[in-house]
A and B are shown apart, each in its own frame.
Chain A
Amino acid sequence: MPNEILSRGVTRRTVLGGMAGVAALSIAGRVSAAAGGEAPALAQLVKDGKLPPLAERLPKKPMVVNPFEKVGTYGGSLRRGLRGSSDHNGILRMVGNQSLVRWNLEFTAVEPNLAERWEVSDDATQFTFHLIEGVRWSDGHPFTADDVVFAIEDCVKNTELYSSTPAQLAVAGKPVTVEKVDDYTVKFTFAAANALYLENLATPLGQHPTLFPKHYCSQFLPKYNPNIEADAKKAGVTSWTELFRSRCGDIEIPSRWGNVDKPTLDPWVVKEPYAGGATRVVMTRNPYFWQVDTEGNQLPYIDEINFGISQDVESLMLNVISGKIDIQERHISVLANKPTLSKNMEKGDYRLLTLVPSASQQCQIYFNITHKDPAMRKMFADKSFRQALSIGINRPELIDIVYFGQSEPYQAGPRPTHPWYNEKYARQFTEFDADKAGAMLDEAGYKKGGDGFRLRPDGQKVFFSIDVIPTLYPDLVDALELVKTHWAQIGIDMKVNTIERALYYTRGDDNAHDAQVWPGPGGLDPMLDPRDFFAFHPQGSRYAIPWTLWYTSNGARGEEPPESQKKRMKLFDEARSTADLDKRGAIMKQIFDIAAEEFETVGLCLAVGGFGIIRNNLRNVPEKEPDSWSWPNPGPALPQQFTFTS
């Protein structure tokens, strides 16, 4: 089966199957640090006595990164764009993915990162990580098992700081326990099996163990600093937790990039912070970065990253086409920009970067099966009603007009290249047949009224609205407008309800929507976001939010779901605790079979790939990469080995 990303001679299946094997492998190909080089600016600092020599800054056996194309040269400033507000993850994706483990380029297996190897107990409750010896924080302080224990035990498990433990670090309602075995070995113990932990650890939300340097962040905790309340007052904030957050940050908040003093393990460290009102963010190389290339040269190659902050995506586009951005996919990767970007390739001196969506569905329609109005609920819960509506959509026309022919009819489930692909789940009821749809609706009791539109058995006209956020997904508005005309032909009246995004969420949270649309995830990462396969996500599984609440609260809140849902919930919990990948796949396939049978969501077409640009003088960048939050592109492509040719 061909891999959508890059096969590089390894099929997805073998890598996935070999997960346990990977765990036992240590880092391949090590070289002595003494042979290596360093950036000229750092060499000068060493000469001036302002920085220890390279050999003292690197681990004895530094992690070796195989450059994507060639060994690079030092220097240059990489320019990228951020948006003015809440765009901190744009920085995270570029530099902040230094977790214990990381994804490989193909998004198929977990590779060593700060942990050079690990062991997993047979019941998947204990994970023992062996850290690379001699790694240092960006201020030169050693990174050891104490830091990991501190980050989890003192910070994340501090209930004043985190009123509940982040979901990744808790299983069966109990938080993980982290113990130090020796200076470079830590043991994570979960209350129950957590077979997915390594994969989760490779996602951005898995960065907690390496986020908080003990020697720096301990000064903001009452346990280590009795005067913390006074310090907080002096800093002008109301409580020590606020001080902690503004100084040490968290995975996903802007203040993570707002403190130039906080030591990190990233290839670049903040020089000009991402703060309110900033017009740019500048990051400069970390002199203690712990990775080298195959010739022993310390990474990163590039001196500096300069994130310009644009308020407006159009001015970002202008910068791109005039060659003022070196690599960018964030914010500009919508299909509508592709003609402009293709046309200006020569002028801007860049090439295009292809993004393979990890999502499954471009536009998933979620009819609210748990609608508050009993009549509407009955209608949406009627499987033949949903099936009729699905075959009443002319997908080829929609794909041609809205997606320039770059997609194919699709319902849900893993993408066609994924080993768990389920043909029935993906393709059923995608063929356009208005007559059959009409007949099915007739049979289900929705007869046509005088004006050509159908009536419910209670005599009311069949009418519902589908919520969509125009500012976020303009293409979904176009798609829905077409669907509206298709459905009008089979006598169904629908309103495309364009609303503001906060209202969209509030309506979903209150279970006040008829139907909503969203791109359906789970194409390449079905285990990480199964929201379309059963009622999993309290905000994302929009066809039955009350069921998700029931699931996530262990039955305390929400509404009890039907048997088929409960079965899938149980199966998923089982899959989550199954370490053996073949067995896990078998369980997931059962989930897909049931989901296909139940047909809860109506999909339009396979998620379309985005794209970006890379300046021609920027090398070592894979020109095709997954587009995903779990694989926070371009981070796992290792920007530290990106390099400029003159």
Chain B
Amino acid sequence: MKKSLLNEFMKGLTRENPILIIMLGLCSVLAVSTDVANGVGMSLGFSFVLITAELLSSAFRKIIPNEVRIPIFLIFIAVPTTIVDLIMKAYFPPLSKSMGVFIPLIVVNCIVLGRVEAFSSKKSLSESFMDSLGMAFGYSWVIILLSVIREILGKGTFLGKEIFSKNFEPMAILSFPPGGFFLIAIFIAILNGILKRRS
């Protein structure tokens, strides 16, 4: 019992990583990962929405009629997203501004709807909680690592502070869209290589 719960958690980190293996939710990952602060903020907001939505849909799974399940899931996702959006606007206005439209877009993030529809609407509360936690961590490590690389090499800063001497010439392309595409390509190739060698 305990081992299977741990398994639900671990699979999100690498083997079924929502971004690198299942290839969902890429828009927000690439768009937001230009700064470390954005990456951390996005992963916190995303984790909150995912965990809440999975818990809600698992808790109510026996009384939701099959025909109207998608609209009900949309409520479960849209409400926590609105909460995150309003909190960001109220307490972190600069962060909210630089992430722009991507916080409301958590509503249509395919990972959230996909996990709710395929997993938590059929599984128990504890399994759903472990699954959402694993997926949230899987999402977070990719986006934070990506944003650390992109901010340090692309802008020469970390959390907004200069960390190199004046001689360092930042690779500006990394903080532009092409750099994001290229880095994610390398990430996927590396993870694929590791997973294939292991199996």
**Pair from one complex:** no
Q: Which residues from chain A sit less than 8 Å from chain B, CB to CB?
A: none
Q: Which residues from chain B sit less than 8 Å from chain A, CB to CB?
A: none
